[in-house]
Amino acid sequence: SSHCVLNNGYSQEKYTFKDTDGKHINAHGGGILFHKGTYYWYGEIKEGESYSMPSGSRRVDAGGVSCYSSKDLKNWKNEGVVLAANTTDPNHDLHISKVIERPKVVYNKKTKKYVMWMHVDSEDYSYARSAVAVSDKATGPFTYIESVRPNGYIARDMTLFVDDDGKAYHFFSSEDNKTMHIALLSDDYLKHTTTYKRIFIEKSREAPAVFKYKKRYYIVTSGLTGWHQNEANYGSSDEILGDWTNYGNPCKGKDAHIPYYGQGTFVIPVNAKKNKFIFMADKWNERDLKSSTYLW
Ligand code: GAL
């Protein structure tokens, strides 16, 4: 119930990222795939009216997953809906009454398929599963496969990371959001293996964004306060399934305690060899989720 924190001191306009049609980019909780010279931005479609749940939390109908493409990270072409929400079957994982969040897409060199993982949930967030979809093209359409509880654990906020050796890892908030899991995916990226590591035990971190720099792995996470901003932390480890150390807040200056009114979602390795990365965050507007903006 702290509507007042939203966009304080910042103009909405500045954080409205427009596509090449001049429309506000609709790709929240997003992630970027860089493939054959093109950046693909996938994210949550947030459309229609936001409304309050009995618990007081705010939601908008699940809108599926969008994709935008760009050569320069500045001019974004709308590639349309790559995974649609279901409007007819309330039991379907992707039904509009559910939650589809933080979709991330990776490319599998062996199968030549584009694999999407996302967080699917019921509107009270008790379903807490990870879902997978696959496509032959970066711009979809993706075919929905299934949702799972990885190794029997609940899964909410998540990201994917593909290492230099082609192995893919699924990072997700688990165990009632108290502990983060890193699970190794199968070679085709469509399943979880039984290899996983629990990190930041009982530290209640979410919104993971992962990158690698000079053989070391880094993660940026948020705390756990729903749509409301909180302090980011960063951590690192020499081994991806090793013992990660959590450091403090990586942000500096005005509003650094609430990442400048943003919550992280992804880190783009623009030119990792030259130490160039872009941190992507969402500026959630819980009163009207579709007008949430971005901060990079
Ligand atoms: C946040 C999470 C978002 C969304 C929101 C709903 O904690 O990072 O992705 O799930 O809660 O309240």
Contact 163, 172 (CB under 8 A): no
Mean pLDDT of 245-257: 95
The pLDDT confidence band at residue 10, using thresholds 50, 70 and 90, is low
pLDDT score for 2: 34
pLDDT score for 233: 98
Q: What is the pTM of this model?
A: 0.95
**Atom number in ligand 1 closest to CA 222:** 8
Strands 192-199 and 206-213: unpaired
Strands 99-108 and 28-35: unpaired
Half-sphere exposure of 13 (CA within 13 A, CB side): 1
Which residues contact ligand 1 via a Cβ below 6 A?
Answer: 29, 57, 101-102, 157, 206-207, 226-227, 263
Percent of the chain residues topping a pLDDT of 90:
93
**Residues 250, 231: Cα–Cα separation, whole Å:** 9
The pLDDT confidence band at residue 15, using thresholds 50, 70 and 90, is confident
Ligand 1 probe mutation, 98, 178, 206, 287, most atoms within 8 A of CB: 206
CA of 11 to the centre of ligand 1 (A): 23
Three-class DSSP category at 172: strand
Three-class DSSP category at 13: helix
Length of the chain in residues, anyone?
296
pLDDT per residue as tens digits for the range 144-200:
999 999 999 999 999 999 999 999 999 999 999 999 999 999 999 999 999 999 999
CA of 111 to the centre of ligand 1 (A): 32
Half-sphere exposure of 36 (CA within 13 A, CB side): 6
**Residues 72, 77: Cα–Cα separation, whole Å:** 11
* Inter-CA distances, 137 with 14, 25, 40, 113, 205, Å: 33, 21, 11, 7, 33
Nearest CA to 144 out of 159, 158, 131, 128 is that of 131
**Residues 211, 32: Cα–Cα separation, whole Å:** 12
CA dihedral 88, 93, 96, 97 (to 10 degrees): 100
Residue nearest to atom 6 of ligand 1 (CA): 226
Three-class DSSP category at 93: coil
Residue nearest to atom 12 of ligand 1 (CA): 226
Residue nearest to atom 7 of ligand 1 (CA): 226
pLDDT per residue as tens digits for the range 93-126:
999 999 999 999 999 999 999 999 999 999 999 9
Mean pLDDT of 247-253: 95
Percent of the chain residues topping a pLDDT of 70:
96
Mean pLDDT of 36-59: 96
pLDDT score for 16: 87
Per the prediction, the chain carries an average pLDDT of 95
CA of 228 to the centre of ligand 1 (A): 9
**Atom number in ligand 1 closest to CA 225:** 7
The pLDDT confidence band at residue 11, using thresholds 50, 70 and 90, is low
pLDDT score for 247: 94
Mean pLDDT of 254-261: 93
Tokens at 142, concatenated: 């993706």
